[in-house]
């Protein structure tokens, strides 16, 4: 069995190709294209959300946030104040600023944002 992730259905176990072990299956696999996006959510916390610039505005980011949003109702995220693209995305999605603090390792301002299903 192998694990595969889909932004719409989450993690799924799928059978290996008949008669091959996972190592053999990986050896024979064709190179995979570079992923267009990468979600990272733990409970109601978005730990990271990255979408390749060539895929901005396509709905991928919204789809990646929709799943944990529907599961938790409330989401929180931290974004650097200088990250105008990230701030714009989260604002459009409905996140609001909870607090602003200093990210000590970099000396940059970080915004803590929150979104609820009521937002």
Helix %, strand %, coil % for the chain, to 5? 30, 40, 35
pLDDT on residue 82: 95
- Return per-residue pLDDT of the chain as tens, 119 residues: 555 555 555 555 555 555 555 555 555 554 444 444 445 667 788 888 888 889 889 998 898 888 888 888 889 999 999 999 999 999 999 999 999 999 999 999 999 999 987 64
Q: Is 77 helix (H, G, I), strand (E, B) or coil?
A: strand
> Tokens at residue 110, please?
């970080």
pLDDT on residue 19: 52
Residue 107 φ then ψ, to 5°: 75, 10
Spatial contact of 7 and 51, defined as CB atoms under 8 Å apart: no
Spatial contact of 63 and 8, defined as CB atoms under 8 Å apart: yes
Q: Is 92 helix (H, G, I), strand (E, B) or coil?
A: helix
pLDDT on residue 106: 92
pLDDT on residue 12: 56
pLDDT on residue 73: 86
For the domain made up of 33-116, give the CATH fold: Aminopeptidase (3.40.630)
Tell me where in the chain the CATH 3.40.630.30 domain(s) lie: 33-116
């Amino acid at each position: 069995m192998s694990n595969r992730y889909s932004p719409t259905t989450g993690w799924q176990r799928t059978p290996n190709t008949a008669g091959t072990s996972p190592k053999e299956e990986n050896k024979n696999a064709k190179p995979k294209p570079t992923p267009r996006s990468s979600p990272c959510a733990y409970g109601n916390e978005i730990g990271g959300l990255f979408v390749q610039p060539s895929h901005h505005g396509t709905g991928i980011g919204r789809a990646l946030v929709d799943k944990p949003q529907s599961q938790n109702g409330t989401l929180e995220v931290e974004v650097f104040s200088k990250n105008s693209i990230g701030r714009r995305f989260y604002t459009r999605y409905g996140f609001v600023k909870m607090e602003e603090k200093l990210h000590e390792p970099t000396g940059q301002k970080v915004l803590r944002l929150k979104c609820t299903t009521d937002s």
